[in-house]
Amino acid sequence: MKDQIQSTQTEALAQIEAISDFRSLEDARVGILGKQGSLTKLSAGMRDVAKEDKAEIGQLLNAARQTITASLDAKKEALQSEADAKALEGIDLTLPGRSVHHGSLHPLTIIRHEAIGILRRMGFALADGPEIEDEFHCFDALNTPEDHPARNEKDTFYFDSGKLLRTHTSSVQIRTMEGGKPPVRIIAPGSAYRRDEIDATHLSVFNQLEGLYVDADVSLGDLKGTLEYFLQEMFGSETEVRFRPHFFPFTEPSFEIDVKLHAKGQAPKWIEVAGCGMVDPDVFDSVNGNRKDEAYSPAGVTGFAFGMGLDRLAMIRWGIKDIRLLIENDTRFLKQFA
């Protein structure tokens, strides 16, 4: 048994020494140490060894296994070194390394995170809803008449089923009120879809953020203070904000909001950034009709709503002249935000 162990070890070491590739090395490992390997078969013969010789023979087998394993590891390391050296042939190690390009968040993602963060600090919770909507939640509940241009197939994406791609995230406000009682203070960021011709200021798919606050005594002053604070946090504490009377079917009174833009080398100018207003009582009546209760009775609650395009906020923040840059994935443009 001792001679067999020694002979197997000698043959194995000679075989390993002659190997010149990884495949042959793996075959040798299996042929020597595998389940049917030569050394494994010798180990199985321990049951026939006399009791007084078992300790000595066992030590010899363990020593042979360790020696062969060490030889296999050394050969593997040597083969890897040879492969690495071959791979580096012809490479000039003195050449400067290639720079690593750092990724970053998309500008729309950056502005979305900032806007949500500001509004959440004021107590607004995130709300979500389906992008494929029905006409009730997208138009009827928001006091939008049947002859309103937004309901025309030329302006809105309709499906054969009669459903449509939501034209704003105001539908989330309706679903939130249907699902819970006041007080409600939510923001609804998400995609909206309209049949707009794509140009420097319009996309058919854009990013919107809308908000709703309903409680027992919400005032126009609350609306004004909320949005002034938001816009000054977004664009700087010195930002001038103005409210212009406007008309929206779902708010009364309604306003458009402008901020004064101070672009380098240009005269300051007012730019529209959002629409807002006090929730129209007819909207509360529609919600109550669907809920079949008076949780949002106009006699007991008031509220305000607002909406803005995140794409527009990004364009104002960074002076982007063409909205199409935000969807073209041109790395020459996007790397500015890395």
DSSP 8-state assignment for residue 185: E
Which amino acid would we find at residue 247? F
Structural contact between residues 209 and 232, judged by C-beta atoms closer than 8 angstroms? no
238 assigned to a ligand binding site: no
Give the position of tokens 């011709």.
197
Give the span between the Cα atoms of 139 and 282, in whole angstroms.
12
Structural contact between residues 212 and 176, judged by C-beta atoms closer than 8 angstroms? yes
For residue 42, how many C-alpha atoms fall within 13 Å in the half-sphere facing its CB?
24
The token duo for 40 is 């494994």
Strand 164-165 and strand 241-248: pairing? unpaired
3-class secondary structure, 215 = strand
Structural contact between residues 304 and 227, judged by C-beta atoms closer than 8 angstroms? no
Give the span between the Cα atoms of 238 and 74, in whole angstroms.
70
Which amino acid would we find at residue 310? L
Give the span between the Cα atoms of 225 and 273, in whole angstroms.
16
Give the position of tokens 């395009």.
309
Q: Tally Cβ neighbours within 10 Å of residue 200.
A: 11
DSSP 8-state assignment for residue 200: S
DSSP 8-state assignment for residue 188: E
Dihedral sign, Cα of residue 245, residue 249, residue 253, residue 256: negative
Q: Which residues are annotated as a binding site?
A: 252
Q: Which residues are annotated as a binding site for Mg(2+)?
A: 252
